Amino acid sequence: MKYAVIIALALATSACQRAVPTEVISAGTVMATESSSGDAASASTVSEISNEQDFEIVSTAQTVESDAERIAANRAKYIVMDVQALPQRPGRRPNVVDYAIRTNNPIGVQLYNRFGTGLKVISFGGCDRYRAKDEAQQDFLVNGGPERDAYGLDPDGDGYACGWDPRPFRLAVGN
């Protein structure tokens, strides 16, 4: 029964669609329209939407030489930058990118013993105190990490605080 209803609805909606006149489909043709008085016909041209798929029209507008000129003009605008070392950031905050590149242990593999992490998290607030994982990792490194976990940010002892992931930085260096 429901298939019959679906088919009936499909037929009803398809019957409501307007037919597009052939004069509109063939772009660039001249259509005759009646004026407001009804006795005189005036000609109007239907505007084309796009003719970029018509090889004959494009071949008259563009040539191999004009393409070469356009490519040469674009190449003249290129700016080639020399590779430079990253600048040192002011302050004593550790660089998490540098830490990610120097380490090679996978996430979740315990390298450091952790004791009393639950009490530290309760008293300090844990990872919820940080807006971003990078900030948590920096604070972790400032306060003795990865060897020491003063605030319970690395309960699994892998050297990465609050689920911080070094893999995107390692992949960027590999490219």
- Distance between CA atoms of residues 57 and 41, nearest Å: 30
Confidence label for 168 from pLDDT (cuts 50, 70 and 90): very high
Residue 84 domain flag:
no
Instruction: Report the share of the chain in percent with pLDDT over 90.
Output: 22
Convert the pLDDT of each residue in 93-122 to its tens digit. 888 888 999 999 999 888 888 876 665 555
Residue 121 domain flag:
yes
Residue 119 domain flag:
yes
Convert the pLDDT of each residue in 62-101 to its tens digit. 788 888 999 999 999 998 888 888 777 677 788 888 899 9
Q: What is the mean pLDDT of the chain?
A: 76
* Residue span of the structural domain in which 113 resides: 96-174
* Burial category of 138 from C-beta neighbours within 10 Å (exposed 0-12, middle 13-18, buried 19 and up): buried
